[in-house]
A = this chain, B = another copy of it.
Amino acid sequence: MFSTHALYGTKLSPEQNKIFGHSNKSGFFHKHLNIKKNQSHTENLMSWCNNGRISSKDRIQCKALQLQTSPTFLKGDKFQLQDVIEAQQFDRDTLSAIFEVAREMETIEKKSHGSQLLNGYLMATLFYEPSTRTRLSFESAMKRLGGEVLTTENAREFSSAAKGETLEDSIRTVEGYSDIIVMRHFESGAARRAAMTANIPVINAGDGPGQHPTQALLDVYTIEREIGKLDGIKVGLVGDLANGRTVRSLAYLLAKYNDVKIYFVSPEVVKMKEDIKEYLTLNGVEWEESKDLKEVASKCDVVYQTRIQKERFGERSDIYEEARGKYIIDTDVLGVMQKHAIVMHPLPRLDEITVDVDGDPRAAYFRQAKNGLYIRMALLKLLLVGW
C-alpha cells in the first residue's frame, strides 16, 4: 500500500481503482485529510504519479517518492497510516495518537464476545521464518476485532530453491487474497520492498537484524501506561545493548521526548554502539554508562532488561557465560527500586530476571507482552478502517 497527498480526500476514479486494486475496500482514501500547503512541488510530482497510464517503471519511482514524502501526522487533522515499516516513521504526535487507540482496544478486548470492527477483513500472516509469539499476537489482535486470518509460517516455500520466485511476485499474489499483510522476513529491508510492491497495507513483524516496529511501539506504550508519562523519565537499559534490536529502537524513540535520561548497563563485550550514543547526544538526551546495576535501578523509573544472546558469541561460550551472569535482576535489585518503578523485558527470558521477581507488582514484562496485543489491534484498525 502507498498513497499520495493528492489522493487524500478524493474518491478513486475507476482508472485509479484498476491500479490500486483493493485499496478502496478499506475506505483508505476517503478520509478527512487535507493537503499541506508547503508541499506544492511534491504535489505536482504526485499529481503526475497519479496518472493511471504511467509506465510500470515510472510507477516504481513514484512509489519511492511517495514513501519518502508520506506524512505521518497532520496537525489539526488525523493522518492516514499506510504501512508500518520502521519505528522511525512515527513522530511524537503519531505515537500519542496510536496509544490513544490502543487504550480503546483494551476496553474492547475486555468486553466479552469481541468486536466486529474488522468483520469481513482478511489479514495474511506471511512468515518467512517462524516466530510463534509474534504471529499469535497479531492473529489474536485481528480475531479480537472480528477479522479473519490466512496464515503461513512456511512462506519460504514460495521462494524455495527450486522455484526462486521474487519477494515482489509473492507479494503481488498474496495481496490478491487478503486486505493486509503482516510479514516476518529474514532479510533487512524486506518489509520496505513488500510495501513498495503491495497495493494493500503491509506491517513489518520483524525483518532480520533490521526493524521490529510493533515491538518498539509496545515498549513505549508500556512505559506511558505504567509510569504515566514519557517526558522526564529515567530509563536503565540492561544486558545485550550491542545486538538487541529492541533496546536500540527504544533509545531512538525515547529521544523524541523531553528530559529523558538513559543509563546503559552492560558487559563490556556487548556495549551500546556509538551510533545510538551520538544520536542521543545530538537530540539532547542525557546518557551515561554504568557498571552498577543496583545504583542505576535505584534511580530509574524503568529498568529494561534484555537477554544476552548466546548465538552472538559463536565458539566463545566462556565469554558468553561471563557476560550472561553479570547483570541479573533479582529480589535484591528489586529491593532498591522505587515503588512506582517497573521492570521490563521483551521476552523470552532465560535467567536474567529470576522467577521470584514475577510476583512483584513492579514486574511489568507480562503486561508488556499483553500490551503488544493492544498496539497491534490499534494498528490493524488504523490501517484498515482509519480513525
Q: Could you list which residues of chain A lie within 8 angstroms of chain B, going by C-beta atoms? A: 25-27, 55-57, 59, 110, 112-114, 119-120, 122, 124, 130-133, 135-137, 139-140, 143-144, 148, 150-155, 157-159, 162-165, 168-170, 172-174, 176-178, 309-311, 347-350, 355-356, 358-360, 366, 369-370, 373
Contacts and interface: CB of A to CB of B under 8 A. Distances in A.
Nearest 6 Cβ contacts at the A-B interface: A56-B359, A113-B120, A165-B348, A140-B177, A114-B120, A176-B370
Q: How many copies does the complex hold?
A: 3
27 contacts: A25-B112, A55-B359, A56-B356, A56-B358, A56-B360, A113-B119, A113-B120, A114-B120, A122-B140, A124-B136, A130-B157, A136-B150, A136-B177, A139-B177, A140-B177, A143-B150, A153-B154, A158-B348, A162-B309, A162-B311, A163-B348, A164-B348, A172-B366, A176-B366, A176-B369, A176-B370, A177-B373
Instruction: Pick the most buried of A55, A133, A136, A359: most chain B CB atoms within 10 A of its CB.
Output: A136
Contact of A112 (B120, B158, B169, B356): B120
A169 B137 contact: no
A25 B137 CA distance: 19
A359 B143 CA distance: 36
A339 to B, nearest CB: 14
B120 A173 contact: no
Given A25-B110, A153-B154, A174 B348 contact: no
B130 A154 contact: yes
A162 B320 CA distance: 13
Nearest to A56: B359
Contacts of A350: 163-165
Contact of A57 (B144, B347, B356, B369): B356
A293 B310 CA distance: 56
A112 B27 contact: yes
Contacts of A170: 348
A10 B101 CA distance: 33
Contacts of A169: 347-349
Nearest to A110: B25
A137 B350 CA distance: 34
Given A113-B119, A132-B155, 7 more contacts: A56-B360, A113-B120, A130-B154, A132-B152, A136-B152, A162-B310, A165-B349
A176 B373 contact: yes
A137 to B, nearest CB: 6
Most buried by B among A110, A153, A159, A348: A348
B359 A174 contact: no
A148 to B, nearest CB: 5
Nearest to A358: B56
B27 A347 contact: no
A309 B163 CA distance: 8
A172 B370 CA distance: 10
B25 A366 contact: no
Given A113-B119, A360-B56, A373-B177, A150 B139 contact: yes
A322 to B, nearest CB: 18
Contacts of A349: 165, 169
Contact of A154 (B27, B132, B309, B311): B132
Nearest to A144: B122
A200 B119 CA distance: 25
Contacts of A113: 119-120
Nearest to A22: B110
A237 to B, nearest CB: 20
Contacts of A172: 366, 369
